[in-house]
Structure 1
Amino acid sequence: MRLAEIFERVVGTGAPVRFRAYDGSTAGDPDSDTTMVVRTPVALNYLAQSPGAMGLTRAYVSGHIDVEGDMYTALDRMADLAFNDGPRLSPAEMARIARGIGWVKFANRVAPPPQEMRRGKLSWLGTRHAKSRDAEVIHHHYDVSNAFYELVLGESMTYTCAVFGSEETSLERAQFDKHDLVARKLGLEEGMRLLDVGCGWGGMVMHAAREYGVKALGVTLSKEQAEWASKHIAQEGLSDLAEVRHMDYRDLPDGIYDRVSSIGLTEHIGKKNLSGYFDGLYAKLKPGGRLLNHCITRPRNDLPAMKPGGVINRYVFPDGELEGPGEIQMRMNDAGFEVRHQENLREHYALTLRQWAANLDRNWDEAVREVGEGTARVWRLYMNGCILGFERDVVQLHQILGVKLDGTDAHMPLRPSFA
């Protein structure tokens, strides 16, 4: 049996891509403009151990398979495999494939690439979403390299969904407009105090201070993010108004804020902790204060919040959990917030990811020098796969605006001033 044919059988027949193996054999669609290249027998070991998306990811990240042509196009054509567990081979089929390449080669266990977060590594840090475990998870994803993130995210250094006026809008403009949309939903005014939880590199904090004269505090579990943000706050001359601290939002001292923004943090909270999360933010707001929660969501509340053994959870967001927008809104309601506005920005995140993926491709050699080829490959695969996820409504992005009533007064205009 030819190696390319074996590979095609393991990942599924009928995929409209071409396969080429190191022994010179080919399979699949000969006219496809995208080719999956099997470079070494280790690719087959990975697929034998984990048929489907996990095996493909391990083989790609470690360089044992490659993609010739556009990554997004390749994933689009193999979307059923990318979003599901892949084909399940019968014992007879497995035995037939093993005979084709030799039992020793087929059965040999190969360690996952080092970029994969093994579940055992986290278990000794405590239960899911314990403070020490959350700190390690954030370190795994966000402390990759500030220089690498600058290559991918661009000048805005903002790692959350942007808001596009059109498909031609630049990434920097779209990120500015996202921060300004949040500011307008919150009704920021000069002299207010803003708390931004999970502030990343401080984009919202600096925007609020620079554009609205707001005294803004951001907190992040990433030491590298906090250092980068503090440096740039000083460079912009905003130190009197803006501050970013390296700390867990749960350790914030008591204080009352006019407004709270949470942009891209709820994904790290966990379903069982949502009530406490929103209770805590409610307590930090003055009467009449507003919370804007911006996060990735699942399209339905009855879908599972996480897939512990999935590619995203192992390689990108360990312990990440996504809830349906109704679940998040319910928890905000139960914490005491009156929900005043909700918006789905799903298509905007697909556009954002396209810009990030293009930045990575354009700066590929420099990115590889900065973080290594394996990590760069993780990001190329992850971002292009997520474009498909948002385009195909596998995931969504919701902004939900809540108000802490002042008695019965929401201090909201009769009609909102934001679009």
Structure 2
Amino acid sequence: MQVAEIISDVLGQDVPIRIVAYDGSKAGPDGSDVALKILTPRALARLATAPGTLGLARAYVTGEIEVDGDVYDVLNAMADLTLHDLSRKEQVALARKLFPVWLRHRQPPPEFEYRPPGRLHSKARDSKAISHHYDVSNRFYEWVLGPSMAYTCAVFATEDSTLEEAQAAKFELVAQKLALRPGMRLLDVGCGWGGMVMHAAAEHGVKALGVTLSRNQAEWAQAEIERRGLSDLAEVRHLDYRDAPEEQFDAISSIGLTEHIGKANLPSYFGALYRRLRPEGRLLNHSITQPRTPLTRKLDPFIARYVFPDGQLEPVGDIISAMNDTGFEIRHEENLREHYALTLTEWCRNLEEHWEEAVAEVGLGRARVWRLYMAASRLGFERDNIQLHQVLGVKLGDRARSGFPLRGW
């Protein structure tokens, strides 16, 4: 059987892109502007052991499959065909068909495919999982994220807003929801490179502490705090949120941490944040979510093994229920799904503009991982396969006082 026909079996017979294979076979419309090029039988060996998206991803990041055109355009064209992996019956049939190729060309998964050891969501394992993704290279992230070094969804006033404007607007939106004022104390858990901490200190006179499990992030953030002259107000520590100071803060922001917690740990997670808040203190939880209750809790296997080991996404209703059951009164909820698609569009553009430098810094395979995952994530937000929600809660004071005005945040 010709190689292009085999790939069509994986993607579907009505695949809307060109498929060009090393044996000279072709499939799909000749007039398509984008194509998948199957360069070596090793790509088929990948599909034999991992039919569907994981096998295709392995072949792409190792250079055994090449994309002719923009990766996003290819994924967008295939979106309706590849949103779900093959059925078990289809996987078995494909594996049998490819067994002879696998015998001759089998190989281990790429070296940067990672599953952290230890008990799920223990402090040691969480540290390894976070380090795998965030301790890649600060310089690499500077090229992708831009000057803000914000690795979370921005907030665009218009589609013409720059990424830096949108990231500043995101931090200010969080600050307004938390009603930050001079002299207040803010705890930012999972603080990344310290963007929220520095914004709170510089723009609102807040004494802000950020904690992150990434040593690279903490070192970069602390150096930037000193460079900006914010050391009197801002600090970032290399620390698990569970080990953050027990003193009562006036506000807590969690921007992009909940995805790493796991459903079973949501009660203890929100409980830890609740204990650290003073009465009438506010929590803003900003996280990627499932658009509906999933049949399975597993992430896409490519994302789980290459990008966010141990990551888990929950429906926003589960997050709200967990916050509410912990004791928070929910005051506001907002879906920023389209904003994250725009954010990822800018990150993808940054990566392409710095492609040669990025490859030199982290290697071709890892750069391909980021190119693929960011393009796929952009498509996921556009197609409502994932969402981004901000949920604002308050720890009620005496006689259920919230400290909220009658209108507004």
Shift of 1:337: 0.7
Q: Which residue of 1 aligns with 2:64?
A: 64
Give CA-to-partner distance per residue, 1:85-105, whole Å, 9 cap, x none.
Answer: 13653766655566xxxx255
Q: Which residue of 1 aligns with 2:304?
A: 313
Structure-2 change in CA distance of 1:19 and 1:252 (3 Å): same
Structure-2 change in CA distance of 1:10 and 1:83 (3 Å): closer
Q: Which amino acid aligns with 2:321?
A: M
Structure-2 change in CA distance of 1:104 and 1:385 (3 Å): closer
1:398 has 2:406 as partner: no
Shift of 1:83: 2.2
Give CA-to-partner distance per residue, 1:92-142, whole Å, 9 cap, x none.
Answer: 6655566xxxx2555643211112114xxx23xx21100000000000000
Partners of 2:5 and 2:106 in 1: how far apart? 21
State the SS of the aligned residue for 1:89: helix
Determine which of 119, 132, 143 is the counterpart of 1:140: 132
Structure-2 change in CA distance of 1:18 and 1:195 (3 Å): same
Structure-2 change in CA distance of 1:333 and 1:235 (3 Å): same
State the SS of the aligned residue for 1:415: coil
Contact 1:301/1:325 (<8 A) preserved: no
Residue range with higher mean Cα deviation, 287-296 or 85-94: 85-94
Partners of 1:109 and 1:298 in 2: how far apart? 35
Determine which of 145, 148, 155 is the counterpart of 2:147: 155
Shift of 1:48: 1.6
**Identity across aligned pairs (percent)?**
59
Structure-2 change in CA distance of 1:92 and 1:219 (3 Å): closer
Contact 1:38/1:65 (<8 A) preserved: yes
Structure-2 change in CA distance of 1:10 and 1:402 (3 Å): closer
Determine which of 215, 233, 238 is the counterpart of 1:223: 215
1:412 has 2:404 as partner: yes
Residue range with higher mean Cα deviation, 234-243 or 26-35: 26-35
Structure-2 change in CA distance of 1:410 and 1:303 (3 Å): farther
Contact 1:139/1:222 (<8 A) preserved: yes
Partners of 1:372 and 1:359 in 2: how far apart? 17
Structure 1: gaps spanning 5 or more residues:
none
Partners of 1:238 and 1:339 in 2: how far apart? 32
Q: Which residue of 2 aligns with 1:44?
A: 44
Q: Normalising by structure 1, what TM-score?
A: 0.94
Shift of 1:302: 4.9
Contact 2:44/2:98 (<8 A) preserved: no
Q: Which amino acid aligns with 2:55?
A: G
Contact 2:140/2:361 (<8 A) preserved: yes
Structure-2 change in CA distance of 1:30 and 1:189 (3 Å): same
Contact 1:34/1:69 (<8 A) preserved: yes
Partners of 1:23 and 1:54 in 2: how far apart? 23
State the SS of the aligned residue for 1:16: coil
Partners of 2:261 and 2:21 in 1: how far apart? 43
Q: Normalising by structure 2, what TM-score?
A: 0.96
Shift of 1:325: 0.8
Partners of 2:293 and 2:385 in 1: how far apart? 13
Q: Residues 205-216 of structure 1 correspond to what in structure 2 (within 5 A)?
A: 205-216=197-208
Partners of 1:366 and 1:113 in 2: how far apart? 22
Q: Residues 111-126 of structure 1 correspond to what in structure 2 (within 5 A)?
A: 111-118=108-115, 122-123=116-117, 126=118
Structure-2 change in CA distance of 1:319 and 1:93 (3 Å): closer
State the SS of the aligned residue for 1:30: coil
State the SS of the aligned residue for 2:237: strand
Structure-2 change in CA distance of 1:400 and 1:94 (3 Å): closer
State the SS of the aligned residue for 1:78: helix
Q: Which amino acid aligns with 1:7?
A: I
Determine which of 243, 263, 277 is the counterpart of 1:271: 263
Q: Which residue of 2 aligns with 1:336?
A: 327
Partners of 2:5 and 2:335 in 1: how far apart? 43
Shift of 1:34: 0.3
Residue range with higher mean Cα deviation, 16-25 or 104-113: 104-113
Q: Residues 191-210 of structure 1 correspond to what in structure 2 (within 5 A)?
A: 191-210=183-202
Q: Residues 168-183 of structure 1 correspond to what in structure 2 (within 5 A)?
A: 168-183=160-175
Partners of 1:96 and 1:224 in 2: how far apart? 46
Q: Which residue of 1 aligns with 2:275?
A: 283
Shift of 1:301: 3.4
Supply the RMSD in Å over aligned alpha carbons. 1.6
Q: Residues 247-396 of structure 1 correspond to what in structure 2 (within 5 A)?
A: 247-307=239-299, 310-396=301-387
Contact 1:52/1:81 (<8 A) preserved: no
Q: Which amino acid aligns with 2:52?
A: G
Partners of 1:131 and 1:95 in 2: how far apart? 41
Q: Which amino acid aligns with 2:2?
A: R
State the SS of the aligned residue for 2:90: coil
Contact 1:194/1:257 (<8 A) preserved: yes
Give CA-to-partner distance per residue, 1:292-320, whole Å, 9 cap, x none.
Answer: 0000011123543333x711111111100
State the SS of the aligned residue for 1:36: strand
Partners of 2:139 and 2:282 in 1: how far apart? 34
Contact 2:47/2:95 (<8 A) preserved: no
Aligned length: 407
Shift of 1:392: 1.0
Partners of 1:304 and 1:181 in 2: how far apart? 33
Partners of 2:330 and 2:222 in 1: how far apart? 33
Residue range with higher mean Cα deviation, 254-263 or 174-183: 254-263
Partners of 2:370 and 2:92 in 1: how far apart? 34
